[in-house]
Amino acid sequence: AQSVAQPEDQVNVAEGNPLTVKCTYSVSGNPYLFWYVQYPNRGLQFLLKYITGDNLVKGSYGFEAEFNKSQTSFHLKKPSALVSDSALYFCAVRLMNSGYSTLTFGKGTMLLVSP
Amino acid sequence: DSGVTQTPKHLITATGQRVTLRCSPRSGDLSVYWYQQSLDQGLQFLIQYYNGEERAKGNILERFSAQQFPDLHSELNLSSLELGDSALYFCASSAPRDLSSNYGYTFGSGTRLTVV
């Protein structure tokens, strides 16, 4: 089945350290991949996307993600974490459903950045 | 403000009741998507409408239904409510090319439904 997976329920990192939030996908064809962030009591906000081209994608708030076709991964990264980055992060993949595309989300990874 | 408006923000109701959640998409967006977010199931796709017509169905229960009106706003109707229906319900919208060229979806802030 086509899907996206986030293997970690929670990631803990100290402020100033690099962070990685993992995502793997299983789709046929070329994947369209997205990262979204959800702050408490808010809707999901777009961070970045990979459609085609450069495997390293830069997004909002200093985040970037690396598309790795051989490992079917799209991990989210940031060189130096901030306490304000603490939030719930979702990886998503475009899936075709009866000829129309929808986004399917992973279960989410809670990122906690400690001061 | 994302441009997607959901009302109400909070809803508390009893088991067996029926509620209607409302969503106004971002200006110019033709597609509306409904998602259910719960602690155990994560973010589950329910249903998609495009310009008034149903386009895709996900894990939507038969007790749930939706529609999109000519002015493009959408309503999600939940009936015979059970305790397990308590969740955050999100609406998102997109323009036809957004999944290829833009931000994917724009999400509203959600409606938190509590069934007691």
Taking CB atoms and an 8 Å limit, are A46 and B104 in contact across chains?
yes
pLDDT at B98 over 60: no
Tell me which residue of A39, A28, A18, A26 sits closest to A108, measured CA to CA.
A39
| Nearby residues of A48 by Cβ (< 8 Å), 6 or more positions away | A34, A35, A57, A58, A59, A60, A63, A64, A65, A76
Q: Of all residues in chain B, what percent carry a pLDDT higher than 90? A: 72
How does residue A9 score in pLDDT terms, banded at 50, 70 and 90?
very high
Considering chain B, what percentage of its residues have pLDDT values greater than 70? 93
The pLDDT value given to residue A1:
73
Counting every residue, how long is chain A? Answer: 115
Please name the residue of chain B whose CA is at the shortest distance from the CA of residue A101: B99
pLDDT-derived band at B26 (thresholds 50, 70, 90) equals: very high
Please report the number of interchain residue pairs, chain A to chain B, with beta-carbon separation below 8 angstroms: 67
Quote the CA–CA distance of B80 and B2 in Å, as a whole number.
31
Q: How far is A22 from chain B (nearest CA, A)?
A: 16
pLDDT band at B72; cut points 50, 70, 90: very high
- Residue B101, pLDDT score: 52
Chain A, window 23-52: residues with a beta carbon less than 8 angstroms from a chain B beta carbon: 32, 34, 36, 41-46, 49, 51
Q: Which residues of chain B lie closer than 8 angstroms to A36, CB-CB?
A: 104, 107
Q: Which of B2, B60, B52, B1 is nearest to B34 (CA)?
A: B60
pLDDT value for B86? 96
pLDDT of residue A37: 96
Residue A35 has pLDDT above 60, yes or no: yes
Average pLDDT over residues B50-72: 93
Percent of chain A predicted with pLDDT > 90: 74
- pLDDT at B102 (0 to 100): 57
pLDDT value of residue A92: 93
Q: What is the pLDDT of residue B97?
A: 60
Mean pLDDT on B64-70 = 97
For residue B53, the distance in angstroms to the closest alpha carbon of chain A comes to 12
Please enumerate in sequence order all residues whose Cβ is within 8 A of that of A54, keeping only pairs 6 or more positions apart, or say none. none
Neighbouring-strand partners of residue B64 = B78
- Lowest mean pLDDT, pick from A43-47, A96-100, B45-49, B99-103: B99-103
Q: What is the largest CA-CA distance in chain A?
A: 47
Residues A102, B58: C-beta atoms closer than 8 Å? yes
B109–A41: do the CB atoms touch at under 8 Å?
A: yes
A101 touching B, CB under 8 A? yes
Tell me how close the Cα of B17 comes to any Cα of chain A, in angstroms. 25
pLDDT tens, residue by residue, B38-47 = 887 788 999 9
Q: How far is B95 from chain A (nearest CA, A)?
A: 12
Task: Return the pLDDT at A3.
Answer: 87
Strand pairing category for B64-68 and B87-94: unpaired
Residue of higher predicted confidence among B61 and A29 = B61
Q: Between chains, do B105 and A32 touch, taking CB under 8 Å as contact?
A: no
For residue A17, the tally of other CB atoms under 10 A from its CB is 12
Mean pLDDT is lowest, of A55-69, A79-93, B37-51, for B37-51
